[in-house]
Amino acid sequence: MAVIELRDVAYSYGGGELFSGLSLSLAPGSFHFLTGPSGAGKTTLLKLCYGDLVPTSGEVAFWGEATTGMARDALALNRRRIGVVHQDCQFLDHLPLAENVALPLTVAGRHHEAAAYLPDLLGWVGLTRHAERRPPELSGGERQRAALARAVIMSPEVIIADEPTGNIDWEMSQRLLSLLVELNRMGKAVLIATHDLNLIRAAKAQVSVRTLRLKDRQLIAAGADL
Amino acid sequence: MSALRMALSLLAGDVQADRSVPPTGFTARLTLFTATAMALLAVFALALSLAAGRLATRWSDELSQSATLRISAPAEQMDAQVAAALELLRTTPGVASARALDSEEEQALLTPWFGPELPLDALAIPRLIEVVEEGRGFDATGLRARLQAEVPGAVLDDHTRWRAPLVAAAGRLRGMGALALLLIGAATATMITLAAHSALSANAQVIRVLRLVGARDAYIARAFVRRFTLRALAGAGLGTVLGGLLVALLPGGGDDSGSVLTGIRFAGAQWLWLLTIPPLAAVVAFGATRLAARRMLERQS
């Protein structure tokens, strides 16, 4: 059973149709890259994948269950199984970084587990000494790394990342990729939207990757050169 | 049941959930001020309502248990008519006692109107007999008929025409107090709903982030509901204390036989009513914020 499935999905925005007849199935343990020109709808497609947007037509299913008519509580529970790294790294600016990273555990009523995960996680993304700083005090790259830490703290079954290496250097992007590959080897499905072809090539060297390209309102398999 | 569960978890509290929502100065001050002002008004309305109820009961009880017989007769027949009236009253069922007021008592009654120098002996003042009833009282119609036959100069006043409008007025005053309390509750709910809406709108981004990391509506709502409920409780507590102090300091507060104005106060165990105001304000805030949060979260989903 696919962890996330888009069936014949269309999405209109501001009177125009962004894409239509789009289908996608993320199997457990799969690794997908999503590429395409700016404005093609990559972020929108990802938002449909984690239930932040509702398709104009077609259907989105989480673990085989259609989200159409799904109760908001059920949707919230499904979101806990999906780790998301947003392009704009949304945080609660009044809370310190450590509490932001632990937020998924907190809202799930598992805040007591944070102490067990936080030190290693912050250490891995190189933010240990920033644990008590507020998000507005961090650089773009630091925020991106914090977003990644927050996305994986619940050990989700799917990781969805929107341009996760957009604001970080090559070394950090390789560390980030290593984590995602490691999570994928643990059986997590990974979907990354990116323009970074080097990242895709580096991933292909380590795991079996499928690259999709969103262009002209259609989702197609990218060429072998990727 | 879900409301009860939420109320219990609200009392238990969740520090982490509370911290999820940033403090909002304006709505905090608005809620606190509204709850304080409304509790203060509620204390006054409650005092007025209870005083009106107390007076209505007193007037009703006191006047309904007594009557006055006024005897107008030539001076030489006065004593005989008074004696005849007292004898008639003694044998009337429902009359506990009857007593003719002496000249000093009549003088005391007339002093407020004519001054202490009034020469009662020189005036043809009617004699008054105070009648105290027992049980369900006497048959006024039957008594009047007997008086007409045996004591032609006697006029029976059973206070009905005084008592009825006074009791009705006191009852209306009590009703107005209750209506004022209802309006205060409604106004509190409206103000807190507006403040909650404002807080929820101002925190749309916070709500969005919480949702994206898997927060349920109940979790998000709880942070707001708990905050507003506790603010309303604190504000109402402050308003109740202030209101109680002001009522206690009202002039004439110790005059038990006073009028409506001097009777606006709490007597004995009635002070305990004040303890209900803060929790009721908290319940109103809880309901109003919860409803507002549900609607807003539904709209934002």
Backbone dihedral angles phi then psi of residue B107, each to the nearest 5 degrees: -60, -45
What's the number of CA atoms in the CB half-sphere (13 Å) around residue B64?
13
Quick one: pLDDT at residue B202? 86
As a whole number, the mean pLDDT across chain A is 90
Residues of A in contact with B213 (CB under 8 A): 79-80, 103-104, 107, 150
pLDDT in the model for residue A13: 82
Chain B interface with A: residues with Cβ < 8 Å: 16-17, 19-20, 22-23, 205-206, 208-219, 297-298, 301
CA distances from B150 to A67, B77, B87, B203 (A): 96, 13, 10, 87
By C-alpha distance, which of B213, B272, B160, B292 is closest to B17? B213
- Crossing angle for the helix pair A140-152 and A114-124, nearest 10 degrees? 140
Pairing state between β B66-71 and A82-85: unpaired
B177 CB neighbour count, 10 Å cutoff: 20
Q: How many helices (H) and strands (E) does chain A have?
A: 8, 10
Burial class (CB in 10 A: 0-12, 13-18, 19+), B25: exposed
Assign A84 to helix, strand or coil: strand
Q: Is the pLDDT of residue A101 over 60?
A: yes
Query: Which residues does B162 contact at the CB level (< 8 Å), separation at least 6?
Result: B63
Assign A21 to helix, strand or coil. Answer: strand
* Closest partner CB to A92 (pick from B206, B297, B301): B206
CA distance to partner chain A, nearest, from residue B209 (Å): 6
**Beta-carbon contacts of residue A73 (< 8 Å; ≥ 6 apart):** B216, B217, B218
Rama region for B13: left / alpha / beta (φ>0; ψ in -120 to 50; rest): left
A52 close to B (CB below 8 A): yes
Residue A83, beta-bridge partner list: A159
| Predicted structure pTM score | 0.71
Q: How far is CA B163 from the centre of its chain?
A: 19
B204 three-class SS: helix
Distance between CA atoms of B263 and B55, rounded to whole angstroms?
Answer: 8
Q: Which of residues 100-139 of A touch B (CB under 8 A)?
A: 103-104, 106-108, 111
> What pLDDT is attached to residue B261?
62
Helix and strand element counts for chain B (H, E): 10, 4
The per-residue pLDDT for B255 is 47
Nearest to A108 among B209, B214, B301 (CB): B214
CB pair distance less than 8 Å for A107 and B212: no
With CB atoms and an 8 Å threshold, state whether A76 touches B22: no
Write out residues 56-75 of A within 8 Å (CB-CB) of B. 72-73
Q: Which of B22, B23, B214 sits opposite A80 (nearest CB)?
A: B214
H or E element, residue B12: helix B2-12
**pLDDT at residue A25, as a whole number:** 94
pLDDT at A167: 74
What's the confidence (pLDDT) of residue B253?
Answer: 47
User: Between B209, B214, B219, which is nearest A90 by CB?
Assistant: B209
Q: Do B211 and A76 count as a contact with CB atoms less than 8 A apart?
A: yes
What percent of chain A is predicted at pLDDT more than 70? 98
User: What DSSP assignment string belongs to B103-130?
Assistant: HHHHHHHHHHHH-TT--GGGS-PPEEEE
Give me the long-range contacts of B5-9 (CB less than 8 A, separation at least 24): B6/B218, B6/B222, B6/B225, B6/B290, B7/B286, B9/B222
How distant is the Cα of A98 from the closest Cα of chain B, in angstroms?
A: 13
The C-alpha angle with vertex A156 and arms to A150 and A159, in degrees rounded to 5, equals 75
Q: What is the rounded average pLDDT of the residues A189-214?
A: 93
Question: Which of A191-223 are b and which e, b meaning 16 or more Cβ less than 10 Å from the residue's Cβ?
Answer: bbbbebeebbebbeeebebebbbbeebebeebe
Residue of A nearest to B203 (CA): A92
With residue B278 as reference, give the H or E element that holds it: helix B277-300
B207: β partners: none
- Specify the pLDDT at position B1: 58
Residue B20: alpha-carbon gap to chain centroid? 43
- Give B18's contacts in chain A (Cβ within 8 Å): none
Query: Whole-angstrom Cα distance, residue B41 to residue B182?
Result: 11
Q: Give the tens place of pLDDT for each residue, A126-145.
A: 899 999 999 999 988 888 88
Q: What is chain B's pLDDT, residue by residue, as a tens digit (301 residues)?
A: 566 666 666 666 677 777 888 877 788 888 899 999 999 999 999 998 888 888 777 777 766 678 888 998 888 888 889 999 999 999 999 888 999 988 888 888 888 777 777 776 777 788 899 998 888 788 888 888 988 888 888 898 877 767 778 778 878 888 888 899 999 999 999 998 898 888 888 888 899 899 989 999 988 888 888 888 999 999 999 999 999 999 998 876 444 555 566 677 788 888 999 999 999 999 999 999 999 988 888 887 6
Rounded to an integer, what distance in angstroms lies between the CA atom of residue A104 and that of residue A94?
A: 16
Q: From the candidates A92, A105, A143, A160, which should be mutated to test the interface with B, based on the most B CB atoms within 10 A?
A: A92
Nearest in space to A57 (alpha carbons), one of A68, A47, A73, A65 = A68
Contacts of B23 in chain A (CB under 8 A): 94
Please tell me whether residue B251 adopts helix, strand or coil conformation.
coil
Residue type, B186: A
Residue of chain B whose Cα is closest to the Cα of A91: B209
